[in-house]
Amino acid sequence: MKQLLLVVLGGGLGSGVRYLFARFSLDYLNLSLPWGTLMANVLSCILVGLIISSEHLFPSNLRLPMRLFLMMGFCGGLSTFSTFSYEMVSLFKQGMWTFAMLNLGLSLLLGIGVIFALTTKT
């Protein structure tokens, strides 16, 4: 039950941050590209990369609770792949192929690139 609570609390916080990114994006940025979703997905990938790469710094009894709260909970609530997919379909339906491809490329390259960079040991 404690583990479920960690995921639920983290997920609620992540979803709240995603909402704030979406509001900021709608209120202040160019709406041709879903900036709020892009910011949420990239931040989530950065956090996952940082968490994975720094797990050795945490005592073993904190690793699982940290993973549950931050990765599964917070990053799970923050990351918005379903929203990303919906927005991609919307861009295609509107004939905004350039923005759709830009959004797809940035989301994949930044998300995968950040996690790769942060988790690859030199």
**What residues make up the domain containing 72?**
2-119
Per-residue pLDDT of the chain (122 residues; tens, 9 = 90+): 999 999 999 999 999 999 999 999 988 887 778 889 899 999 999 999 988 888 888 888 888 898 899 989 999 999 988 889 989 999 999 999 999 999 999 999 999 999 999 998 86
Q: What was the pLDDT predicted at 121? A: 80
Q: How many CA atoms lie within 13 A of 4 on its CB side?
A: 1
Is 0.85 topped by the overall pTM? no
Q: What was the pLDDT predicted at 63? A: 85
Number of domains in the chain: 1
The owner of tokens 């590209």 is 33
